[in-house]
Amino acid sequence: MELAPTLKSQTIQNRMREVGINPNYWYPVAWADELQPGKIIPVVIWQQAVAVYRDQNLQLHALEDACPHKGVALHEGKVQDDHLVCRYHGWKFNGDGHCVHIPYLPKEQKLPCAQAVSYPVQEKYNIVWVFPGDKELAEDTPLPDVPEYDHPDWLAILIPDNFQGHFSICNENTMDVFHGFLHQNLQGWFDPVLLNLRQNQNSVKVEYRVSYQGWITKFLGLSEQGNQVTTRTICIKYDYPHYQSCLDGVSSIYLIRLPVGMTETKSFSLLFLKVGLPKWILKQIKPQLSQMIWRFLFKKFLDQDVEMVESEQRTYLANPGRRYVEINPAIIALQRLIVGQYEDFMQQSRKLLNHNHRKGEQSSVVTRGISSELTSENP
Ligand code: FES
Ligand SMILES: [Fe+2]
């Protein structure tokens, strides 16, 4: 659906800052090269604690971070072959979460039926992805497509980040190109104009025209001389729950977000730049160059964004009933999409809960989470 790109005051959704996620998508939890064989890491995906480990055969596994025996955090245990051993009594679990060994159980006795919830997990683009929702949907749910990742023309820069803010605030920051004002001292973009806006059930796609001047235009290869004004189009696509933002074939960034909880969001983002260096030189200095560009250039932009996001969050917490004014229709569209995704998921979950209830079946971890959200009357 095409929407008018007109800037005018609109009512914003006050409950945005407490809306939950639709867990039926792949979420990033770690950089894959940091998860060595035998290592277990604790991660949190929207308030669900998960222990992710890589076994000695390099396979990844993700189990609920709670031992089915007494609830001790499984990430404190150790990996033995392809099993995870709980630190407390040494019960051993396979990658599906089944208990396969209890060290003090007499051999002739049958193992109890104890199973930790397991999650679909995979690695791609040097990111470990976990699917916290309905397992049956995992296989048919695609990861973001990142064609630049293996392409020799692009320099990849991995960007980790952590915001003390609700994921909707972080996502609005990305959609909101009008905040170039914030980055003036870094010679960011200026004179933004919203050109067009499209929205459907899963995505919001926006184009802005922006201008650049100064050293950054030279660095990005936008102009020969830094003193010229260069006008370009930025295309931003929010494909729930992740982003892609491109600047006319010059740069491309994938903002891959992990909503941790009501006031915390992590990012595992991939920035790609076209750098005007011969390929053989680029190949040799890629890691060092990526680090330098990240530390001395883009981190400065991101630090300013984090300050704004966290300031918004603090003010919200101090007074959740305060009203705000928004004039960018792209932000309104984004809010509508985030709320819509959550509501769709809640609706499906309610149906599933009722269905299971009638059949007397046990709920999955997701629907258990939903039933507690329903009873606490979150939006
Ligand atoms: S609590 Fe994990 S083995 Fe006892
Ligand atoms: Fe920014």
| Tens-place pLDDT, residues 231-262 | 889 999 999 999 999 987 789 999 999 999 99
Which ligand sits nearest to residue 192's alpha carbon? Answer: 2
Task: Tally Cβ neighbours within 10 Å of residue 295.
Answer: 11
Ligand with the closest atom to the CA of 177: 2
203 within 8 A of 142, measured Cβ to Cβ:
no
Q: How far is the CA of 255 from the centre of ligand 2 (A)?
A: 12
Interval 170-193 mean pLDDT: 90
Please work out whether the CB of residue 69 comes within 6 Å of at least one atom of ligand 1.
yes
Strand-pairing partners, residue 245, are 236, 253
CATH class of residue range 27-138: mainly beta
User: Is ligand 1 within 6 A of the CB of residue 88?
Assistant: yes
pLDDT, the chain, mean: 89
86 touches ligand 1 (CB under 6 Å): yes
The best mutation among 64, 88, 98, 104 to test binding of ligand 1, ranked by most ligand atoms within 8 Å of the C-beta, falls on 88
Q: Give 367's pLDDT tier (boundaries 50, 70, 90).
A: low
| Torsion, Cα of 257, 254, 119, 104 (10° steps) | -80
Give residue-wise pLDDT tens across range 25-48: 999 999 999 999 999 999 999 999
Which numbered atom of ligand 1 lies nearest the CA of 74? 2
| Domain range summary for the chain, segments of one domain joined by + | 27-138, 155-329
Neighbour count for residue 241 (Cβ, 10 Å): 22
Long-range CB contact pairs, 101-110, < 8 A, 24+: none
What gap in Å lies between CA 221 and CA 233, rounded to an integer? 15
Structure tokens at 250: 């010059």
The per-residue pLDDT for range 301-343, each reduced to its tens digit, is 999 999 999 999 999 999 998 888 899 999 999 999 999 999 9
367: exposed, middle or buried (Cβ count in 10 Å: 0-12, 13-18, 19+): buried
> What architecture is the 155-329 domain classified under in CATH?
Alpha-Beta Complex (3.90)
